[in-house]
Structure 1
Amino acid sequence: MNDISVAIADDQPLILAGLRMVVESQPDMRLVGEAGDGAQAVALARATSPDVMLMDVRMPGMDGIQATAGILAAGVTTRVLMLTTFDVDGYVYDSLRAGASGFLLKDTGPEQLIAGIHTVAAGDMLLAPVLTRRLIEGYVHRRRVVEGRPGPLAQLTDRERDVLRAIADGLSNVEIGRRLFVSEGTVKTHVSRILAKLGLRDRVQAVIAAYEYGLVEPGRPGA
């Protein structure tokens, strides 16, 4: 497997230095650049196309959420992992809606950050256990579409709905296959079709859609 190319965007030199040390300590990671604000982060992503961008939420000028949307709009394949010291509901939800692939607090330990970079680089979603799921559920519950109103989920087959529920439970493709008694390849096909039908970028946005459209209930067992 090729090295994971990583870029960092943060306006605090001390935080930037700490993140740099973590990335450079890993033999399978390569730091390709640093940015001090959102505009620089977008320019850096366009210039270097890193696999993963560690993005601070609050930065002067263009913030991390706007920068994430800008990276997505630029067509860059970079996956954004948001980092912040603020556990505010709106930051989590808006970050993921902008196209981020995950969200962690800055007091996360180095081991968890490294694992998070690997997770995001592999194309999976990263929802910090307990904190992020709680924030997403609470925020999405307040923004829920009117129950009974026709929505995009009508496009999905019954099996695709089952897969989407499992994604919302945080299951991997292998785990979904075990739950539904199908192969991992079949699950991947269902996931691809779900994302295409709903116009979603990745599994993170699929989780949000599952809650928004009422397919799963916040706080239910297994969620």
Structure 2
Amino acid sequence: MIHATVNNEDRLGMGVLVVDDHDLVRLGLKTLLDSYARTLPCALVWFEAASLARAMDTYAQQRAHVHLVLLDLHLPDAHGLLGLQTFLRRFPDAPVAVISGNSDPYTQRQALNLGAQAYLSKNGHMQEVLDFVCQLSAHRAIDKSIEPSPTQVLGDERGPNRTIRSSSGMVVQLSARQSQVLDALLSGLSNREIAERVCLSEGTVKNHISQLLLSFGVRSRSQLLTLLR
């Protein structure tokens, strides 16, 4: 049976498929986001899966209604990046964001390179997850007059869609969000100014900048600016 709940049927729905083998994690995430739902332009429609196989079956049946897949990296039938690879191999256009307690930079970079829309942390207060869902909810509300097809969901917000070549010849693929943050960074904006421009928290902006530094193999924003200017 597919579990789906809607927190407000009078608003446009944004479907979120939560894939985690721990019932309490799924419940906690839904409770946390539902507590913020009154501030979102879209009602949240919840789908659940406790395994990769179940997640793929659910997505196959409900893909027209699922606008975000929150995928844990450690499931009974898939560990590490294998689950992400398997899911995206079957559904290349699926809007998948990894949510994990693993904060290893290499794993984060690999997940993004494989096509994950974002790498979100389970640790702390999960502000990144809230910011991310709020951003997608706003995007969904803007486009509410056009019902997205499975291959159009989230449009340019999904996956690596810009290639940057540095002065040293390094080639890096960036997602739309990383590209926005990088452009703002190259414009000389502070973290607070970047956050205001792209509608994210300062903490999330810092995480994006850290990911950019890792991707380009530098240790500071000044080195990044020198490399790309």
Category of TM-score, reference length = shorter chain:
0.5 to 0.7
Pairwise CA distance, 1:178:
8.5
Cross-structure match for 1:22: 32
Deviations 1:80-130 (A, max 9, x none): 12111222344323322332111122124254322112446755479xxxx
- Where structure 1 has 5 or more consecutive residues not aligned to the other structure, the ranges are 127-152, 180-203
Residue 91 to residue 37, structure 1, CA distance change in 2 (3 Å) = farther
RMSD of aligned alpha carbons = 4.3
Give the structure with the higher percent helix. 1
TM-score using structure 1 length: 0.55
Q: Pick closer, same or farther for the CA change 1:165–1:78 going to 2, 3 Å.
A: closer
Alignment partner, residue 218 of structure 2: 218
What residue number does 1:3 align with?
A: 13
Counterparts of 1:29-44 in structure 2, within 5 Å, are: 29-44=43-58
Q: Percent identity, please.
A: 14
**For residues 124 and 5 of structure 1, what CA distance do their matches in structure 2 show?**
16
Instruction: Provide closer, same or farther for how the CA distance between residues 11 and 75 of structure 1 changes in structure 2, counting only shifts above 3 A.
Output: closer
Alpha-carbon distance in structure 1 between the residues aligned to 2:125 and 2:135: 15
- What are structure 2's unaligned runs of at least 5 residues? 1-10, 140-155, 188-207, 225-229
Paired residue type of 1:69: Q
Paired residue total: 164
Structure 1 residues 90 and 39, CA gap change in structure 2 (3 angstroms)? farther
Mapping for residues 34-73 of structure 1, pairs under 5 Å:
34-49=48-63, 50-63=66-79, 65-73=81-89
**Contact 1:11/1:37 (<8 A) preserved:** yes
* Counterpart contact for 1:6–1:29, Cα < 8 Å: no
How many angstroms apart in 2 are the aligned matches of 1:174 and 1:96?
Answer: 16
TM-score under structure 2 length normalisation: 0.54
Q: Deviations over 1:39-70 (max 9, x none)?
A: 21222222212111111111111236333223
